[in-house]
Amino acid sequence: MNTTLSKYLPERAVEPCFELIKSHGVHLKIVNHRVTRHGDYRKLPNGGHQITVNASLNPYRFLITLVHEIAHLVAFENHGRCIKPHGMEWKRTFQQLMLPFIRPEIFPTQLLPIIAQHFKNPKASSSTDARLSIALKAFDQEERKHQYVFEIPSGSTFRLYNGKLFKKGKRRIKRYECVELATGKVYLFQPNAEVELIQ
């Protein structure tokens, strides 16, 4: 397991992550890239715990995603299954589990203040924290093929991964109003949504 983990995690995070996986009886599956999620947790019918994480994630996002999913397991075990998946119990658990990893031996120094800020009140996904998402994206291996919504001009047309076309509108407090061309419906986009600029 350690050899496998070392392909996906920062070097100094391998051993503590292995201990977390072992101590909570996690069956970890590293899976092909999924557009809609970085990872997930589910309790198996036999009572075991399965966590999946995308193989395509860079080591820092992989670490945050793995600990995020283990936090679901621990929060449910400690507080029962009636809690909200990303409620206060999960947030506190995620903070406690991540704390030992927020060190310069594990994360690059330029990421540390952004990660520390994020973990004051962790979001349901690291992707919904635009600042953290953009900072983590800088460590991806592959070259960026798309742009972020905040980078493209207002009024321009863009395509999503699913082929739908939108026109970028005005910015609300944090997100952008964008009109789906086929239906005329208005959707709110996070500034770090990755899109393909058409015109």
pLDDT in tens, 126-169: 788 888 988 998 898 766 567 889 889 999 999 988 889 999 99
Same domain, 115 and 184: no
Q: Look at residue 142 and tell me if it is in a domain.
A: no
CATH code of residue 165:
2.30.30
Same domain, 102 and 13: yes
Q: Give the predicted TM-score (pTM) of the model.
A: 0.79
Between strands 186-189 and 157-159, the pairing is: unpaired
Which residue range is the domain that position 59 belongs to?
A: 2-137
Same domain, 10 and 61: yes
Cβ contact 158:152 at 8 Å? yes
Which of 90, 117, 137 terminates a domain? The answer is 137
Contacts of 125 (CB under 8 A, 6+ apart): 38
Q: Look at residue 104 and tell me if it is in a domain.
A: yes
Domain count, the chain: 2
Same domain, 153 and 131: no
Torsion angles phi and psi, residue 168, rounded to 5: -75, 130
Helix (H) or strand (E) holding 188: strand 186-189
- Asked if pLDDT for residue 10 goes beyond 80, the answer is yes
Closest CA to 30 of 47, 15, 17: 17
CB atoms inside a 10 Å sphere around CB 9: 24
Same domain, 24 and 113: yes
Q: Per-residue pLDDT tens for 101-119?
A: 999 999 999 999 999 999 9
- Asked if pLDDT for residue 60 goes beyond 70, the answer is yes
Torsion angles phi and psi, residue 191, rounded to 5: -60, -25
Same domain, 107 and 128: yes
Greatest distance between any 2 Cα atoms in the chain: 52
At residue 178, the pLDDT reads 95
CA 51/CA 92 separation, integer angstroms = 20
Same domain, 131 and 170: no
